[in-house]
Chains A and B, each alone.
Chain A
Amino acid sequence: SAVISQKPSRDICQRGTSLTIQCQVDSQVTMMFWYRQQPGQSLTLIATANQGSEATYESGFVIDKFPISRPNLTFSTLTVSNMSPEDSSIYLCSVKGDREGPQHFGDGTRLSIL
């Protein structure tokens, strides 16, 4: 399966600031996704990162708060904007090679906002 590098692995940020998380894959992948996992909770899909076009956001998530880029088939970024303590969470990127195959996850970014 693809090797996925996600960084930073963790960060502590001040409220009101923004942080950009990077996801790099060692091979071209069709689909890339961004998830949020709040402490002790399941995974919630934020958006599907589309190569060369705007991301597709799930209900409850908006582009102004979580802008996403995907300039090519191996790289994507997620920005968490104007952070508040409620944004403290783990953010995970995942990839899949074919439509109905499994997803493979990066190590995640553990974000704490003070």
Chain B
Amino acid sequence: GQQVMQIPQYQHVQEGEDFTTYCNSSTTLSNIQWYKQRPGGHPVFLIQLVKSGEVKKQKRLTFQFGEAKKNSSLHITATQTTDVGTYFCAAPNNAGNMLTFGGGTRLMVKP
């Protein structure tokens, strides 16, 4: 089945430092989605990328979809304690109706 690999598994940063998580697929993807799960919460949809090489920004968050549509990244500039949580990428199957989630990157921010 489809596999989505995500690194790193954990990241500790000092508040104000930048953070990046990477997502890789063995197959070409029709789109990739990013979710954030706060401690004790449920996954919340952040963004969907569809086009090759697409870059989207949400305030301090920058999302990128690779040219080959096999990888993606999420970059947070100047982290804040509110950024704490686990960030998941997720890719649809060929039929487009189900998602496979990456392992997630747990971000911890020291104030």
Binding site for B on A (CB under 8 A): 1, 31, 33, 41-45, 48, 59, 92, 99-108
B102 — which chain A residues lie within 8 A by C-beta? Answer: 42
Main secondary structure, interface of B, reads loop
Number of chain B residues close to chain A: CB under 8 A: 23
Binding site for A on B (CB under 8 A): 1, 30-31, 33, 41-45, 48, 88, 90, 92, 95-104
Docked complex Cα distance between A41 and B104 (Å): 8
B31 touches A100 (CB 8 A): yes
A104 touches B98 (CB 8 A): no
A-B contact pairs, 26 of them (CB 8 A): A1-B45, A31-B97, A33-B98, A41-B103, A42-B88, A42-B101, A42-B102, A42-B104, A43-B43, A43-B88, A44-B101, A45-B98, A45-B100, A59-B1, A92-B42, A99-B96, A99-B97, A100-B92, A100-B96, A102-B33, A103-B33, A103-B99, A105-B43, A106-B42, A107-B41, A108-B42
